[in-house]
Each structure stands twice: as structure tokens, then as C-alpha cells.
Amino acid sequence: MQYTAPIERRLVFQPSQQIMPLMHRKENIFSPLRISPSTQQHFSPSQHQFSKGNEYNQQKRQNTNDPEKEKEIKILIQHNQKMKDQINQQAIDYENLKHSYDKMYQDQLRLINELEQISKVSEQQLKEIKIKQEVIKDLQHQLESQCHSQNKNQDETQLLRQQLQFKDQEIFKFKAILEEKNLENQEIRNTLNTINQKVQFMTQQKDQQYQIIDKFNKELQDEITHKTQQIHATSQSLSQSQQQVTQLKFEVDSLKVKLQSQQQLMPLQQLQQRYLMLCMENDRLHSIIQKEYELKKQMEQQQIKYEQETEQLKNELKQISEEFSRLQQGLVYEQKNMYLIENLKNQLNYYIDENARLNVIIRQQSRI
């Protein structure tokens, strides 16, 4: 599920439609072309006598600006250091992702709360930027009226050009800072790619385990089938043996009847020998039946054991599947959060740079 900001928050992420920087306007109000040739004819020759005084005032203004610029640079450095600390902390959290997924969810909730606070701060900064933009527009109208009402000399025009060059240099500095932040973001992306590769490796290991378990299940099923066939064969042989025993008992009974009928005709010694032979045969058949019964009992116990092992393997396979699905869900949720963090971070960097640049322009225009 992709994160979508509310309408009032989405308006914050469209600075190109709200802010028109003064440096990017096609029409430059400080251009010397605004001074017409007819107006330049009225310049007094004595104006050049005041150029040295203007240069002195310009140096004085630049000297007074240095402490403020140093403070702003220190503030920017502190802010960048805080951002670097936050990014390093996030990288450490992501490096420990594979060891503690439960802690990851709590960290993600904390990050989401921090991002909501950052978005609120960004909205407040946007409101301040809008107010400052209105102030800049008023200053621009005042400057335009002053340009039309007053005839400025060439020294003042040169001073404005130098100020514009100074602004361009500051813009280049901010671009360099932005490139450093992009490099830091690239390091974070590389770390995330490493984590994704590790997760893929774990996924491959799980697939191999699944293949081994399937192979073992197949071998176990084949063995169970073979043992079942042996049990069926043993059962058939037992039934045949029982039939033979029943038949022998019937023969013994018939022989007993014959013995009783022929007892007086046959000698006693022959009857005893016949009886001993029948007893020995009966004992032999009984031992065979006992062995087959014990073998059948062992086969049944072994089959029960195989069924228990199969059930245990199925439970382990189910647990592995649940763990794997939970890991996949955590990875998808983490990727969504990283996309949201990257988006908000880029927007915040843009508003911070734009706010700093507008503050510099406002201070310089207020001094002019």
C-alpha cells in the first residue's frame, strides 16, 4: 500500500508552482539597460568623485555581513551534521535488520512519527517562505518604483552586479552541499542493496531446504509404501499359515477320531510315534506363526514411527514457510518506508536550501 499525503500536505511538495526565485526571472530589475540614454545625459560629472566613498561603504557592508554569514554557515553545518547522524543511525538499524526483525517494526514506527513531525516542520517552513515571498514581492515593487523614480549611477549598478555574483557563489556552495547529501544517500542505497542481497541469499537457502525436505519426504513415502507392501505380504502369509494350522487341527482331530476307532487295531507304539510327529509339526507351525506375528508387530511400530516423523517434518516445514512469509512482508514494508523517507528527505532538503537562499536575499535587499 503506497503512502499518499493529504491534499494540504501535497501542496507543500510543489514548490515550482509557488516560488519564483528572484535569480531565475527573465527580467532583471538591476540591469543597467533600464537606464535610458536620455537619462544618462543628466548624470553629473562630479558623480565620479563619490565612487571612492561608495567603495568604502561597500567594504564596510561586506565586513558587517561576515559574522552573519559565518553564523549561517555554522547553522547549516550543524544541521548537516544532524542529518548525517540520523542517516548513520538509520544505516546501523538497517545493518541489524537480519538479526532483529521485531525491533525493526518498533524502529519503523518511531521513524514514521519523526517523519510526521518533520513534515509538520516543513509545512511551517513553507508558510514562513510564503510570507517571506510576499515580503520579497513588496520589496521588488519598491525597487522597481525606485528604479523608475530615481536615476541611479553606474557605481550602484556595478555594486548590484557584484551582489548578484555573490549570490551565485552561494548557490554553488549550496549545490556542493546537496551533492554531498546525494553521495550520503547513495551510500545508504548501497547498504540497502547489500541487505537485499543477503535476504535473497537467505531465500535461496530456504528454497534448498525445501528441496531437501521434499526429497526426504519422497524417500520416506517410498519406504513406507515398501514396508506396507511387506506387511500386506506378511499378512497374507499369516492368513495362509492360519489356514494351514486350521487344516492341521482338523487333520489332528480326524486322526484322533481314527485313533479312537483304530486304537484296538493299531499297536500302541505306532500310535505314540504318530502322535509325536503331529506334536512336532504343530510346534513348528506355532513357532512360524509367532515369528510372523512379531515381525508384523515390528512393522506396525516402525510405520507409526515413520508417520510421527513425517508429521514432525510437516510441522517444521509449515513453521519455515510462515517465517519466510513474515520475512518477505517485513522486507516489502521496509522498502516502502525507505521510499517514503527518501521522498520526504529530498523535499526537506529543497525547502531548507530555498529558505536559506531567500533569507540571504531578504537581508541583502533590506540593507539596500
Q: Is the pLDDT of residue 267 over 60?
A: no
Q: What counts of helices (H) and strands (E) characterise the chain?
A: 7, 0
Confidence of residue 287 (pLDDT cuts 50, 70, 90): confident
How far apart are alpha carbons 36 and 42 in whole angstroms? 11
pLDDT score at 182: 63
Of the chain, the percentage scoring pLDDT greater than 70 comes to 51
| Per-residue cell: 360 | 540571504
pLDDT score at 148: 67
Instruction: Summarize the confidence of residues 185-214 as an average pLDDT.
Output: 71
pLDDT score at 1: 43
pLDDT score at 47: 46
pLDDT score at 110: 81
Give Cβ neighbours of residue 329 (< 8 Å, ≥ 6 apart): none
Residue type, 358: L
Instruction: Summarize the confidence of residues 328-357 as an average pLDDT.
Output: 73
Q: What is the pLDDT of residues 141-166, one digit of tens each?
A: 777 776 666 655 566 666 766 766 77
pLDDT score at 309: 77
Q: What Cα–Cα distance (Å) separates residue 105 from each residue in 70, 94, 298?
A: 41, 11, 52
Is residue 238 within 8 Å of residue 289, measured between CB atoms?
Answer: yes
How far apart are alpha carbons 306 and 217 in whole angstroms? 10
How far apart are alpha carbons 77 and 75 in whole angstroms? 5
Instruction: Summarize the confidence of residues 63-89 as an average pLDDT.
Output: 80
| Per-residue cell: 225 | 509404501
Q: What is the pLDDT of residues 7-60, one digit of tens each?
A: 444 444 444 444 444 444 444 444 444 444 544 444 444 444 444 455 555 555
How far apart are alpha carbons 65 and 188 in whole angstroms? 37
Confidence of residue 366 (pLDDT cuts 50, 70, 90): low
Which stretch of 171-175, 251-255, 310-314, 362-366 has the lowest confidence by average pLDDT? 171-175
Confidence of residue 208 (pLDDT cuts 50, 70, 90): confident
Which stretch of 254-258, 260-264, 343-347 has the lowest confidence by average pLDDT? 260-264
pLDDT score at 44: 46
pLDDT score at 132: 78
Confidence of residue 121 (pLDDT cuts 50, 70, 90): confident
Confidence of residue 199 (pLDDT cuts 50, 70, 90): low
How far apart are alpha carbons 359 and 69 in whole angstroms? 11
